[in-house]
Amino acid sequence: MAAPVYLNIINGREVASRTGQTFENRNPADKSDLIGLFQNSGAEDVRCAVAAATEAFRSWRNVPAPRRAEVLYRAAQTLVARKEELACDMTREMGKVLEETRGDVQEAIDMALFMAGEGRRLYGQTTPSELPDKFCMTVRMPVGVCALITPWNFPMAIPSWKILPALVCGNTVVIKPATDTPLSCWNFVRLLNEAGLPPGVLNLVTGSGARVGEPLMADPAVRLVSFTGSTEVGRRISQACAPGFKHCNLEMGGKNVILILDDANLDLAVDGCVWGGFGTTGQRCTAASRVVVQEDVYRLFLDRFTDRAEALRVGNGLDPAVQMGPLINEKQLHTVEEYVRIGQAEGARLVCGGRRLAEGAGWFYAPTIFADVDPAMRIAQEEIFGPVVSVIPCQSLEHAIEIGNGVNYGLSASIYTRDINAAFHAMREMYTGIFYVNAPTIGAEVHLPFGGTKETGNGHRESGLAALDQFSEWKSVYVDYSNRLQRAQIDKD
């Protein structure tokens, strides 16, 4: 059977790329499984999509926000009804196990409901004036056409973090999903259009960063670029946005850490490290790629963690018995292989994994643990984005915090301890955007801000109410009903 061909979605219609070219979307667990052909678009397609979004913005910005929100509610209902089918599509294109892709769709449902609720809030402030008979308030304005560039590891959740607050705030959107996982975003965009978005409000153009991403962020009609991906690409996007002073929201790398103190519930900590380190095959920005363990429990922890990692069943995520899927593609597999070589050359002790699995069928790699890692080693400093965890010994809480903060990233950190003083102390001292106590570094919920410090981001947060600040501009409004000239700062008496 011929593979289905998926078109771009522009101005409410499905249209082929002007380039006439397509690219393949294949299953990373089974390379013979061709999921579909997607448009290998170019600058002309981007121009059409931006033109449609620009035109649609003229009326969408003035649709009352509660009406905009109704579309999100309807989309949430469809997502609930089609959750299983959408999760299966996602596992097939991305590889992570069905339980996790169901969670990914659920995250889009959660965000749709949360942002739909915001349609009836979008609160500003009312505040007294310093002058008599004068009224002050703030209102939110949409920014305009938003260019959204999303990664492959959360193929529906992350698009939902960007699309839904953008829409409820009254912006229009052109989204470019990752070329490894275009189907989940395509499903989501189509479903939102079918839920009643006016044509042109939400457009999707598939293709590479060079051919689609570059012209999209360079287009003068685009006022905001929101990107999740590598720090290296984020830096380039930031530079591209600077000359036009575009809003530029970046969510980038992480080198997240779990701190385990001597008094921790060790079974709980091991559970957390397995889920945080090997969930999504370690391909999360929030993955627990470093575990810092206090000396007294170091050996015991390492033994238990290694046993559990070795027992993980790796395979095709559609099989319910499988616990860990493949890496996303060959390039990622090579990156992981390269870091394992680097770790060994640096003198870290490989205690399990360190090898490719089931050669030929998919991009499978064994859960891998390095022990006795020095915090300065590259495997403990650089984001690997694979199932590789570095275990680092430490002497004290202060030492653990110092190691934890000793990287260029600041996304997520966690501590396992029964000592509430230690937990609060670490919470204050860890310079990360997300912090967990007695839970791993993953598991963010949509109604809290998501993002990080240092090279993880550029000062913004996604999700939560913080997302509204990304996708709107404040307008401060002063209404003087005194019928005379009143001068702020000057007329004091």
CB closer to ligand UN1 out of 203 and 414:
414
Q: Which two tokens stand for residue 28?
A: 């990373």
For residue 349, the minimal CB distance to ligand UN1 (Å) is 27
When asked if residue 45 is in the footprint of ligand UN1 (CB under 6 A), the reply is: no
User: How far, in Å, CA of 460 to CA of 326, rounded?
Assistant: 31
Binding mask 330-369 for ligand UN1 (x = CB under 6 A): ----------------------------------------
How, if at all, do strands 364-365 and 134-142 pair? unpaired
Q: How many CB atoms lie within 10 A of CB 334?
A: 12
Which residue shows structure tokens 């339980």? 99
Q: Which two tokens stand for residue 36?
A: 């579909």
Residue 349 DSSP symbol: E
CB closer to ligand UN1 out of 26 and 284:
284
Binding mask 424-463 for ligand UN1 (x = CB under 6 A): ------------------xxx-------------------
Contact assessment for residue 353 and residue 368, using Cβ atoms and an 8 Å cutoff: yes
User: In this chain, which of 153, 193, 206, 368 binds ligand UN1, going by CB under 6 A?
Assistant: 153
Q: Which two tokens stand for residue 242?
A: 């600077």
CB closer to ligand UN1 out of 154 and 435:
154
DSSP class per residue in 50-83: HHHHHHHHHHHTTS-HHHHHHHHHHHHHHHHHTH
- Per the annotation, the verdict on 383 as an active-site residue is no
- Per the annotation, the verdict on 14 as an active-site residue is no
Question: Catalytic one among 251, 383, 455, 462?
Answer: 251
The three-state secondary structure class of 21 is coil
CB closer to ligand UN1 out of 292 and 444:
444
For residue 322, the minimal CB distance to ligand UN1 (Å) is 19
For residue 487, the minimal CB distance to ligand UN1 (Å) is 50
Nearest to 37 by CA among 9, 10, 2, 13: 2
User: In this chain, which of 93, 107, 118, 219 binds ligand UN1, going by CB under 6 A?
Assistant: 107
The stretches of 324-446 forming alpha helices (DSSP H) are 330-346, 397-405, 420-429
User: How far, in Å, CA of 118 to CA of 237, rounded?
Assistant: 29
Task: Outline where DSSP puts E strands in 320-407.
Answer: 349-352, 356-357, 364-365, 368-371, 388-394
In the complex, residue closest to ligand UN1 by CB: 444
CB closer to ligand UN1 out of 117 and 443:
443
User: Please, is 447 exposed, middle or buried when counting C-beta atoms within 10 Å of its C-beta (0-12, 13-18, 19+)?
Assistant: middle
Number of residues interacting with ligand UN1: please give it, by CB under 6 A.
Answer: 9
CB closer to ligand UN1 out of 284 and 290:
284
For residue 84, the minimal CB distance to ligand UN1 (Å) is 19
**Residue numbers 122-141 binding ligand UN1 by CB under 6 A:** none
Binding mask 200-239 for ligand UN1 (x = CB under 6 A): ----------------------------------------
Which residue shows structure tokens 């275990």? 391
User: How far, in Å, CA of 309 to CA of 367, rounded?
Assistant: 6
When asked if residue 154 is in the footprint of ligand UN1 (CB under 6 A), the reply is: yes
Nearest to 386 by CA among 323, 443, 326: 326
Sequence-separated (6 or more) residues with CB below 8 Å from residue 207: 17, 23, 38, 39, 40, 41, 42, 45, 176, 179
For residue 271, the minimal CB distance to ligand UN1 (Å) is 15
Contact assessment for residue 328 and residue 293, using Cβ atoms and an 8 Å cutoff: no
When asked if residue 322 is in the footprint of ligand UN1 (CB under 6 A), the reply is: no
Binding mask 275-294 for ligand UN1 (x = CB under 6 A): ---------xxx--------
User: How far, in Å, CA of 140 to CA of 346, rounded?
Assistant: 52
CB closer to ligand UN1 out of 443 and 449:
443
Which residue shows structure tokens 């290998």? 40
For residue 408, the minimal CB distance to ligand UN1 (Å) is 17
Question: Catalytic one among 48, 169, 285, 394?
Answer: 285
CB closer to ligand UN1 out of 102 and 134:
102
CB closer to ligand UN1 out of 325 and 393:
325
For residue 280, the minimal CB distance to ligand UN1 (Å) is 8
Contact assessment for residue 146 and residue 471, using Cβ atoms and an 8 Å cutoff: yes
For residue 144, the minimal CB distance to ligand UN1 (Å) is 27
Element (H, E) at 247: strand 247-251
Q: How far is CA 288 from CA 101, 149, 274, 280, 436, in A?
A: 19, 24, 9, 11, 12
For residue 253, the minimal CB distance to ligand UN1 (Å) is 10
- Footprint of ligand UN1 (CB under 6 A): 107, 153-154, 284-286, 442-444
Catalytic residues: 251, 285
